[in-house]
Each structure stands twice: as structure tokens, then as C-alpha cells.
Amino acid sequence: MSNDLLLPILYSFRRCPYAMRARLALMSSGIQVELREILLRDKAPEFLASSPKGTVPILVTQFEVIEESFDVMQWALRQSDPERWLLMPAAGYDWIKRCDGPFKQALDHIKYSVRFPDLDPMQERIHASNFLKDLDNQISGSTWIFGTECTLADMALLPFIRQFANIDRVWFDQQTWPNLQCWLAQFMASDRFTNIMVKPNKWAAGDAAVLFPH
């Protein structure tokens, strides 16, 4: 029996924050998948056959194709949640909606400003900063968003905060967001982050299966 029939398949791209959050949840859950690294400029036909929209991550199980990163996170954690990420206040879902909506829109308007010539990147930075100020206040006095325990909200947001910080790291480090900056630094220094960022080779049909978590 082929590995395709034994394990779910995760089509991923190492640097994509959406794919990062999916890998974080899968690693926390302990559910093993076959990892297929995709180059977004040269997408494998098998990947496009699974999801014509052609965005990562895509999780292909024996029963369904899951095309949204947050859905992948919830799929994994509902089967196995040893770190109890799902035990978060209802407000955690509001933070995720704000991140995936207005904050991510502003982030894209800044990072890919050439695509949005009618928008002012500095004004978009203000929009993003308002969210980050609120998040810094929320983390104040705590290790994580809701206290001493990591939750789904932390791991759903952190890849996007990292992406924003890397647009202009000097500027980001100069901002008065000490709680947010410590929260991000703690994540980026963790074994968890190191393990999800191991660089796989681009996948092609016929390659030996790469298992994740490793």
C-alpha cells in the first residue's frame, strides 16, 4: 500500500505564514503527515489537482481536502490536543479574525506595495500598528496572549507577526511594543519554530515520502 493511502498529505511552502500555522498545529497534535514542499512559482500538477485555487497549505486526507490553514489547525487539534491549545477564551477567535482580516490586509498592502499603487504604505502601517498596539496591551504581564499557557490564538497569529516584523526589522524593533516583541522573540528562539522551519527539497512525483513532524 502506498504512503498516500496511509498518511494525510500536507502541501506546504516553508516561508508561507499560513502553511507555518498549519505545521505548528500538526506538530503540536503529534499527527504525522506526508509533507510535500511546493514552489509557488512552479506548482506541481498533483497539488493543483487537489486544489485548483493553488494556495498553501492544503491537507489531503482519505476523506476530504482541507484548503484553509485555520481549518487545518482545528482538524489536527480536534483529534489530538496534548498542549490544550483549544482551551482558550472565546476572545481568541476574535483575535484570529482581526489578524486574518484587517491586519493581514494592511500587511500585504505594505509588503507588496507595488501591487497597490493607490494606497499609502505609511497609512497602512498605521492600520497594522493599531492592531499590534492592542495585542501588546493584551499580552502585558503575561507570557502568552491569555496568560501563562499557549493557546491556538498564539500560534495562529505568530507567523503573521513575524512576517510583518521582517518587512522592516529595524523599524519594528524600535517600536514601544515590549510585550509583543518578547512574545515574538520567545517564539522565534524556540525549538518549535526551528523544527517547523527545517528546509525540505521541492517535492516531485516519485520522491520518497518526507514525514512531518520529522
Same domain, 22 and 47: yes
Same domain, 73 and 118: no
Q: Which three cell numbers stand for residue 25?
A: 498545529
Q: How many residues does the chain have?
A: 214
Note the pLDDT tens digit of each residue in 69-111: 999 999 999 999 999 999 999 999 999 999 999 999 999 999 9
**Residues 195-207: b if buried by 16+ CB within 10 A, e if exposed:** ebeeeeeebeeee
Give the residue numbers spanning the domain of 205: 3-84+194-212
User: Within this chain, do residues 106 and 171 fall inside the same structural domain, yes or no?
Assistant: yes
pLDDT in the model for residue 193: 98
HSE-up of residue 58 (Cα within 13 Å, Cβ side): 21
pLDDT of 4 above 70? no
Are 34 and 123 contained in the same domain?
no
Local confidence band at 5 (pLDDT 50, 70, 90 cut-offs): low
**CB 54, CB 38: distance < 8 Å:** no
Domain of 39, CATH number, reads 3.40.30.10
| Phi and psi at residue 12, to the nearest 5° | -140, 165
As for how many domains the chain has, the answer is 2
In this structure, what CATH number is given to the domain that contains residue 125? 1.20.1050.10
Average pLDDT over residues 36-56: 91
